[in-house]
Chains A and B, each alone.
Chain A
Amino acid sequence: MVTFLLNGEVVNAEVKSSDTLLNFLREVKGLTGTKEGCNEGDCGACSVIVTDETGIAKTTNSCIALMPQIHGKAVRTVEGISSPDGSLHPIQKSMVKNHGSQCGFCTPGFISTLVAAHKNGDSDFENQLAGNLCRCTGYGPIIHSAKENLSEPVPVWMDENLDRLKDITSPNNLPQSLEDLATLYKNNPEATLVAGATDLSLEITKKLKYFNNMIFLGGCEQLKRIEITKETIQIGAACTISELIVSLRSTFPSFTNMLLRYGAVQIRNSATIGGNIANGSPVGDGPPALIALGAILKLRHAETIRMLPIEDFFINYGVQDLNPGEFIESIIIPKEVDILKCYKVSKRFDQDISAICGCFKLTVFENTITECRIAYGGMAATPKRAFKTEKKLIGSQWSYSTFETAKSEISRDFFPISDLRASSNYRLKVAQNLLTRLFYEMTDTNIDSRGVLPCP
């Protein structure tokens, strides 16, 4: 049984763990305002607002949210965004007035995302809306509708009273502590661990696989902690990318800037850093930076802890160094960094999967590169270090020619494939050019095409 608030009312849902929130809303509750656009979390038509104990209104792709993930939380759909007496939310009013809907199919999803942003006081609308696709309007009237409500107060009916869920019982596969999780998984190592489900759900919605043995991580508070000490930052594996961005912003600004292009808000609100590592994808955006930073994984099997440098975790495509019943508990990142630059290159700037992701950690002392760790995503079957390139750079003078010379090593470090995102040639060429970008960026040459303004 999954219990949650739906548009302010307590709902007890007898569901399978593999049921998606979208299907529950549309097919069980008849709430057809929320739409299925792609069934894979990439178009945003299914966006709803999920509020958990943090009180943050999180726009969420309901098509890939599995029901146990919303246990104990509040879900608000487009039907619950106007007031109970039917009057419109200020964002809804503006969208009508400003012609923010044309065909209207994506509109409920936009409303959910904009209303969540409004409640949270977020005003970086291009970023907030990256996960909502509209094929009709060109986005202008939608962004305008968001902007004109910046100072409008949040309507009272948007409050979520999670106290009403205080005494609910959690499903058995949603352990409420790290110890319970460790025991449960030790006894049931065949189970599939589910964190944000932003990748896993596609096995259900697209590959049509049936999962009857899943353990959900969302109940373990210990897995969501971020502990910052003088030397390290320790991140619980179930921290979402959104939470990571907030916590790491001041320490690793280049990394968090890149993470702002990890999926879109909806995905970042659900996806966890642990999941991003554990699924072993060669194009995940977390691992290259964490490898460059020299992060250590803290792995747990029941009571046993194993520490493993993250780069050793990725053995081959789809093969990770993880034993049955063992899971990632946290990631420990050394804080000390001289230079860290993280670059992502994709077909579309926002909400796209990397063609190449390159992360560079360097220490420069008296104009000599004394230390260097470089890792790329999208260049091999796993996220991988560029050892030969590193070797070439270490001990060299900080100069244009050093970086130009090191470029040739990239093609000895990597033999990338061609696929729909990019050809092998492009990947190699750009991986090399990112070294040039790094050099230029550190020498104040303008390399930021996104920051350029039109000529007056």
Chain B
Amino acid sequence: MSIGKNTPHDSGELHVTGRALFTDDISLSNDSLHLAFGLSSIAKGSIIELDLSKVVKSDGVITVISAKDLLFTSDTSPSANDEPLLSDGTIHFLGQPIFLVIASSHINARKACRLAKVNYKKEKPVLTIEDAIESKSIIADGECHYIKGTPEVAINAAPINLTDSFYVGGQEHFYLEGQVAIATPQEDGGLVIYSSTQHPTEIQHKVAEATGLKMHEVRVEVRRMGGAFGGKESQGNALAIACAIATKATGKTCKMRYDRDDDIIITGKRHDFRIDYDVGFNEDGKILGIKFKHYVRCGWSQDLSLPVADRAMLHSDNTYNLEDVSITSHRLKTNTQSNTAFRGFGGPQGIIGIERAIDHIASHLNLDPTKVRTINFYRSGTLVKENLQKPQTTPYGMPVVDSISTEITETLLKTANYKSRLEGITAWNKNNSVIKKGIALSPVKFGISFTLTHLNQAGAIVNVYTDGSVYLNHGGTEMGQGLFIKVAQIAAETFGIGIDRIKISATDTAKVPNTSATAASSGADLNGMATKIACRKIVNRIKKVLSKENKIPEDQIIFENGNILIGTKLISFKEGVLIAYENRVSLSSTGYYATPELSWDRKTGVGRPFFYFSYGAAITEVAVDTLTGETNFLQADILHDCGRSLNPAIDLGQIEGGYIQGLGWLTTEELVWDKRGALKTFAPSTYKIPCASDRPKVLNIELWDAPNRLDTVYNSKAVGEPPLILGISAWLAISNAISQCGTQYPHLNTPATPEEILKAIDRARNGV
């Protein structure tokens, strides 16, 4: 059995010895060239004059390319063709690439970039959400609206009403490995691209377009990324295209890697939101009607903003049944980095809205927030399954048939000892004037599938060799999430052999074509199933041969423990493979999987965008210093649903890492732009992701042990994004602690930096 085992990451030993090769580690010939972008120093306006004479003369510079030198349309956008590789004369944000230096070394390229003289005609930039609302600056059609029932009527009729508005900050991915790509020239004019990307097919497509090549002339290979988190779904396009153009221009291998500062200044981040809510509810805290407005800062171009904003709307309900609800989403265009995919893809922003509303309601009613949560949860899937009750539907009309929120929450409240800790915290707060404690629970229900339905497909190729070894390739990419080992476990399981027989290989557009990005938590679901299908085909072919030879029905032939049991006869897997080979049976197969049962119309906002939901919940306890606003996370307890886990250790790693990343998003990770639109937090010295001591002192994580009720690969569930959302409990715990300083529910924006917390404490004390 391979499924369900805690098999270590396939590259673990390579990681700890430094032998794992990342793109920047690939050895290049000495005549290889290196690239860097010259960046705009204003946020909005146009270029009057671009003087590159000093750049060209700088040490080691081979040539410099600006927009006028481009032979083909060089666009880096994954969606709307609205992102020219190099500025066409218009400046959309501070940090926009305007020219490309090709030089003998990385440092020479970077130095040369700073020698440009650019004359700009400056315009007043649109920077903030409020700026964009005021100037009606929008992306695409701008506004999107989902409605279920009659929220207006329900809110007006409700006994109690609350409204509020708060800001949710963005987040820099801070993958440890920055963006990087290499292009190598081929004898026939084609290109091989090595890129740190979640989306090799997109790189292939955009490079072909920018160089006038056919897609079959461009091969993209990705062995591994040093973290991605959505930041390498589209943001690697520019580097790969630049390398391809430079290689076509010079005939040399070209490499581009962003210095960390450039990386943070150029690339998009998590979308920041303003969320307004208007909720009506009764004395028990039951929500009777609710309206959300999302104001989404998309940045200067479309990128993936529409599906991100959609997903935020699709998660506005989280785990709660809302009969009368409306969600309006405003997609705002600003002169800042073009915000992009980031783990959760809008889901966390959608969920934080209702989670705050629930705590607000509980505070208003002086009820335990976990009680308010429980009475609003979707009906348990068990009741639905047993036909005891009809399923409730989401705001977009999808029946929720698999909810386990009630079960998970009840279990977690017990295992985390919530009740007695709540008493302890109340006592602490009575006796301590400076350090206040807070505790909060937040649940998650996350929809699994790309909302752009056609992306829910994947391919794999499996070759079995006559020595019984297996070569595995699929369309998913490895960014640290453990996809490759999970898929290898699936292949090993299907063949009934040990994982050591499976050769994991780099993602390669020439092996599996037309892949979707490894994103939306769907990597193992899609590629795992495609691989299983490929392996099953080969298993069935071998069975057919063995059945004929041994006159034993196929269903009595079993692949297990490295052997094949044919009735009562046992042969090795290798022997079985040889017999098939000698009988002229193909031992190579592709596998293809498309997620079933999806139907979604994003325009009307009705249908089934998701195959199923993943669930979880977390409870976090925090101590807040009311003199400075500093926080210390004391304990977190997490219970999370991975269906029947393919690899519990890998899943636990995703949960822990996701939770901490969510905690960082909502606490220390602050993005600060100045009035000119310059991002001031562009390096780890100024942008603070959690470090080891920010981890809660006690952290208990358990898996909810139950198979997915839907037919996913070995009834597992996706795990990449949902646990990040559990970090919301940390932010709610801070609010809970602050509420000890006043009578009203605190107005706390995110990130809850010490300064933001101290402000909220002041507001709580002064009753505003």
Taking Cβ atoms with an 8 Å cutoff, the residues of A that contact B are: 30-40, 42-43, 45, 77-79, 81-82, 88, 92, 95-97, 99-108, 111, 125-127, 129-130, 132-143, 206, 208, 264, 345-353, 355, 419-423, 426, 429-430, 433-434, 436-437, 440, 445-450, 452-456
Chain A residues with CB under 8 Å of B694's CB are 348-350
Stretch at the interface among B72-80, B130-138, B225-233: B225-233
Total number of B residues with any Cβ neighbor in A under 8 Å: 100
For the complex of A and B, list the 4 residue pairs with the smallest distance between their C-beta atoms, beginning with the closest. A33-B18, A103-B480, A105-B226, A104-B15
> Would A99 and B631 count as touching, CB distance under 8 A?
no
Taking Cβ atoms with an 8 Å cutoff, the residues of B that contact A are: 6, 8-9, 11-22, 24-25, 27, 107, 110-111, 114, 173-178, 224-229, 259-261, 417, 420-421, 424-425, 428, 432-435, 437, 439, 479-482, 621, 623-625, 627-632, 634-635, 649-650, 652-653, 656-661, 668, 670, 672, 680-681, 683-686, 688-695, 697-699, 753-755, 758-759
A281 to B670, CA, bound (A): 23
> Would B176 and A134 count as touching, CB distance under 8 A?
yes
> Would B224 and A104 count as touching, CB distance under 8 A?
yes
A138 to B174, CA, bound (A): 14
How far does the Cβ of B247 sit from chain A's closest Cβ, in whole Å? 21
Select the residue from B27, B658, B689 with max chain A CB neighbours within 10 A: B689
> Would B692 and A139 count as touching, CB distance under 8 A?
yes
How far does the Cβ of B287 sit from chain A's closest Cβ, in whole Å? 30
Chain B residues with CB under 8 Å of A40's CB are 260, 683-685
CB-CB nearest in chain A for B759 = A426
How far does the Cβ of B675 sit from chain A's closest Cβ, in whole Å? 11
A347 to B111, CA, bound (A): 32
A351 to B699, CA, bound (A): 22
How far does the Cβ of A428 sit from chain B's closest Cβ, in whole Å? 11
> Would B758 and A429 count as touching, CB distance under 8 A?
yes
Chain A residues with CB under 8 Å of B630's CB are 345, 349, 449
> Would B661 and A430 count as touching, CB distance under 8 A?
no
CB-CB nearest in chain B for A206 = B261
Grouping DSSP codes into helix (H, G, I), strand (E, B) and loop, the A interface class, with mixed when no group exceeds half, is loop
Given contacts A36-B24, A139-B695, contact A437 B627 (CB under 8 A): yes
A8 to B438, CA, bound (A): 52
> Would A43 and B680 count as touching, CB distance under 8 A?
no
Q: Which of B22, B110, B260 contacts A208 (CB 8 A)?
A: B110
Chain B residues with CB under 8 Å of A135's CB are 173-176, 227, 229, 657, 661, 689
How far does the Cβ of A98 sit from chain B's closest Cβ, in whole Å? 8
Select the residue from A30, A100, A347, A453 with max chain B CB neighbours within 10 A: A347
> Would A38 and B260 count as touching, CB distance under 8 A?
yes
Given contacts A208-B110, A455-B428, contact A141 B227 (CB under 8 A): no
Q: Which of A129, A454, A456 contacts B691 (CB 8 A)?
A: A129
How far does the Cβ of A278 sit from chain B's closest Cβ, in whole Å? 20
> Would B432 and A446 count as touching, CB distance under 8 A?
yes
Q: Which of B18, B177, B261, B434 contacts A445 (CB 8 A)?
A: B434
Chain B residues with CB under 8 Å of A422's CB are 755
Given contacts A102-B9, A105-B226, contact A430 B627 (CB under 8 A): yes
> Would A455 and B683 count as touching, CB distance under 8 A?
no
> Would B227 and A105 count as touching, CB distance under 8 A?
yes
CB-CB nearest in chain B for A210 = B111
CB-CB nearest in chain B for A435 = B627
Chain B residues with CB under 8 Å of A100's CB are 16
A447 to B435, CA, bound (A): 6
12 contacts between A and B (CB under 8 A): A40-B683, A88-B16, A102-B481, A103-B225, A105-B22, A105-B175, A130-B691, A139-B692, A429-B758, A434-B627, A454-B698, A455-B428
Chain B residues with CB under 8 Å of A139's CB are 660, 691-692, 695
Chain B residues with CB under 8 Å of A82's CB are 17
A215 to B691, CA, bound (A): 35
How far does the Cβ of A418 sit from chain B's closest Cβ, in whole Å? 10
CB-CB nearest in chain B for A42 = B684
Q: Which of A32, A447, A456 contacts B625 (CB 8 A)?
A: A447
CB-CB nearest in chain A for B697 = A454
Chain B residues with CB under 8 Å of A42's CB are 683-685
How far does the Cβ of A333 sit from chain B's closest Cβ, in whole Å? 27
> Would A101 and B9 count as touching, CB distance under 8 A?
yes
> Would B695 and A208 count as touching, CB distance under 8 A?
no
Q: Which of A134, A143, A452 contacts B632 (CB 8 A)?
A: A452
